[in-house]
Amino acid sequence: MATAEPIYQLATTVQVYDNIRTVEAQLRNCKIESLPERYLWPAEVVENPKPANDEAVAKEEAQNLSIPVVDLAEIDGASEEVRGKIARAMGKACEEWGFFQVINTGIPTTVMDDVNTSAREFFAFPVEQMEKATEPPGKPLMGYGGRLSFLSSKVPWYEYLGEFHTPEPGVEALAKNVWEDGNPRFCKAITDYCNSLEQLGLLILELLAESLNLPKDTYSQHFDKNSNYRGTWRFNYYTPCPKATQTVGQGPHSDPDALTILRQDQVAGLQVRKGNTWVTVEPLPGAFVVNVGDFLQAWSNDRFPSVEHRAFVNEKTDRLSIVYFMSPPPMLNIEAPSGLIGENQQSVFRTFTYAEYLGIMFKNRVTGDFSKKPLDLMRRGTEAAN
C-alpha cells in the first residue's frame, strides 16, 4: 500500500502554517495588512511574462491563441478513418501545446454534477471540519491540504482534497473521518467520477499511441485496473483572495504524472505557457482539459511536452477544479518505445521509475531547492543521468 512506501516518508517534514481561510479573514478584517511572505510570489510569476521588446504584439498573440479542442462525438464505433482523424488531432495538440480540451466525451452530466456538489459541500465546511480530512502521515498530497507546495518554495493560494482511486481507493476512509455516517453519497459520486475518468484516460492514451503509429495499448496497458497504476482524484478549491494580484492559485509547474484530466467550473483561472506568454484556458461547458504530464513526455521520447501551466485567483469569486491524475505504477521502468527512437539513436531520457522521480520531488521539498526539476535530471547528458 502506498503509505508503506519509503519514498513517501521523505515528505513528512512539513511546516504547519495558519489555514488559508484564517489568513483571508485576517486580511478582510484588517487584522493584517498584506499577504504573509510565503504567499508573495515573485513579480515575474504573478505578472504575465511577455517578450521584452514588444508587449503589444505579445498581448495580441495571447488573445488570438486558444488551446485546441478535440471532439469525441464520433469515437464510438468509429471507422478506422474517423478514429485516425481524431487521434491525429489529439497528437498534434499534444505536440504543439501539451494541452487540449475534449468535448462530447459521453460522460453523463449527472456524474459531473454529483461530484461538483460533493466538492462544494466539503469546501463549505468550517476549517475545523475540513481539517478532519487532513493529510494522513506519509501520504503527501492526499486528504485535505494547502499551505505548502511540493513544486516550489512559495505557497500557492488554494486548498485541495484528494485521495487515491487506485490501487486502493481512499475515499471511504477519508469520508469516515469527516462525516459520522461516512457519507455514502459523497463516496459514490467520487467513485463514479473516477471510474468514468479512468475510461476516458485509457481512451486518450490509446489515441495518443495511435497518433504516434504505435500499437494502441503501448501506454494504456500500464493503466488498467490490474496494473497497480496510481489514479488520484483531487479537488482544487481557490478561495477568493483580497490581494489576488500578488499571489497565484498554483505557481508555474508541469504535472508529475502521465496524464491529467481536469474539469474547471465556469470561472477562468488556468493558464498554459505558450512560448513567452500565458494563454488562458477558456471554460467550455462540458469540456475536460487534458494535459501531458512528465512521464508521457519521457514515454513519447519528447514528442509530447509536459507544458508548464499555472492558475490565478480572483478577488471576489471562488473557483473549483476537479482533477483526475494518472501516474504509472511506481516501479515500472519508463522508457520510450523503440518505434520512437531512430536508428543508432538513444532515447532522449534515460530509463527511470515513478518512485525515483517522486524521491527527487520530495527531496526538493525537504532541501527547499527547487532548481532541479525531476524530469530534467532524467535527460541523457545531464549530470544525474549518468
Catalytic residues: 319
Residue length of the chain: 386
Distance between CA atoms of residues 69 and 289, nearest Å: 9
# binding residues, ligand OGA (CB under 6 A): 11
d(CA 294, CA 375): 7
Residues 6+ apart with CB under 8 A from 277: 48, 49, 50, 51, 58, 61, 62, 65
Question: Taking the complex as a whole, how short is the minimal distance between the CB of residue 65 and ligand OGA, in angstroms?
Answer: 17
Q: Does 269 bind ligand OGA (CB under 6 A)?
A: yes
**Size, binding site for Ni ion by CB under 5 A:** 1
The verdict on 198 binding Ni ion (CB under 5 A) reads no
170 interface partner picked from ligand OGA, Ni ion, none, CB below 5 to 8 A per type:
none
Mask for 241-260, x = binds Ni ion (CB under 5 A)? --------------x-----
Q: Does 252 bind ligand OGA (CB under 6 A)?
A: no
CB under 5 to 8 A by kind: which of ligand OGA, Ni ion, none does 264 bind? ligand OGA
Closer to ligand OGA by Cβ: residue 217 or 308: 308
Cα angle 117, 113, 204 (rounded to 5 degrees) comes to 125
Minimum distance, C-beta of residue 260 to Ni ion, in the bound complex (Å): 6
The Cα 328–Cα 349 span in angstroms is 16
Q: Rounded to the nearest whole angstrom, what is the least distance from the CB of residue 33 to ligand OGA in the complex?
A: 28
Give the neighbor-by-neighbor strand order of the sheet with 230-238: 69-71, 99-103, 288-292, 259-264, 319-327, 230-238, 159-166, 143-146
Cell numbers describing residue 233: 482524484
270 interacts with, out of ligand OGA, Ni ion, none, CB within 5 to 8 A per kind: ligand OGA
DSSP string, 208-238: HHHHTTS-THHHHGGGSTTTT-EEEEEEEEE
Rounded Cα distance, 128 and 108, in Å: 34
Place of cell 494535459: 291
Q: Is 307 in the site for ligand OGA (CB under 6 A)?
A: no
Using the contact rule CB under 6 A, the part of the chain among 121-129, 217-225, 264-272, 337-345 near ligand OGA is: 264-272
Stretch touching ligand OGA by CB under 6 A, among 93-101, 133-141, 262-270, 297-305: 262-270
- Per rule CB under 6 A, is residue 236 in the interface with ligand OGA? yes
Residues forming contacts to ligand OGA in the complex (CB under 6 A) are 236, 250, 255, 262, 264, 269-270, 309, 311, 321, 323
